[in-house]
Amino acid sequence: MQQELPAVAKNIHTFCKKCNADRYHVVIAHKTATSAKVKCEVCGAHKTYTVPKPPKPARERGPVSSVGLIPEKKPRASRKPLTEEARRSHHLAEYEVLLQQNVDTNIQTYSVNGKFKNNQKLQHPKFGLGLIRSVHQDKIEVLFPDEVRNLVHNRG
């Protein structure tokens, strides 16, 4: 909260340059809403006293708890979980790397009756080009550009 300007003729304790010390000053006149012309009671020097500015709003200085502790800044990652968009872009990057690493030029066409092997490339009519990450008895886990999907296979 903004400190109020002391009334005319009141005494305020403030620094006097001439005395080089804190002195009582008498308020002679108000200059603005936050500053006044004051006179040192010891040496008689005039100066302008300005009301100290209130602390900056909390949003600029960061939140301060009632005990005055400034909370530590937390790393971005722990403050907010990955957005869906970020998760997908991470996934896509991984997909592209794995696809590049895979030198298999033979692309299988997906069918529920097909039997697939790990690390095979697979073309799915709906999901696009995929890379088989693991193979089970009746299902395969396939990395597609958007996400990993479990598909059935070996049903023939």
- Chain residues in the site for Zn ion (CB under 5 A): 16, 18-19, 23, 40, 42-43, 45
Minimum CB–partner distance for residue 31 and Zn ion (Å): 19
**Residue 129 backbone phi and psi in degrees, to 5:** -75, 130
User: Considering beta carbons, is residue 46 or 90 the nearer one to Zn ion?
Assistant: 46
Residue of this chain nearest to Zn ion (CB atom) = 40
User: Considering beta carbons, is residue 25 or 153 the nearer one to Zn ion?
Assistant: 25
Place of tokens 């991984």: 94
User: Considering beta carbons, is residue 27 or 122 the nearer one to Zn ion?
Assistant: 27
Separation CA 32–CA 26 (nearest Å) = 16
CB 48 within 8 A of CB 35: yes
User: Considering beta carbons, is residue 20 or 65 the nearer one to Zn ion?
Assistant: 20
Alpha-carbon torsion 86, 92, 93, 94, what sign? positive
Minimum CB–partner distance for residue 32 and Zn ion (Å): 23
**CA 111, 115, 117 angle in degrees (round to 5)?**
115
Minimum CB–partner distance for residue 12 and Zn ion (Å): 13
Minimum CB–partner distance for residue 45 and Zn ion (Å): 5
Separation CA 47–CA 11 (nearest Å) = 13
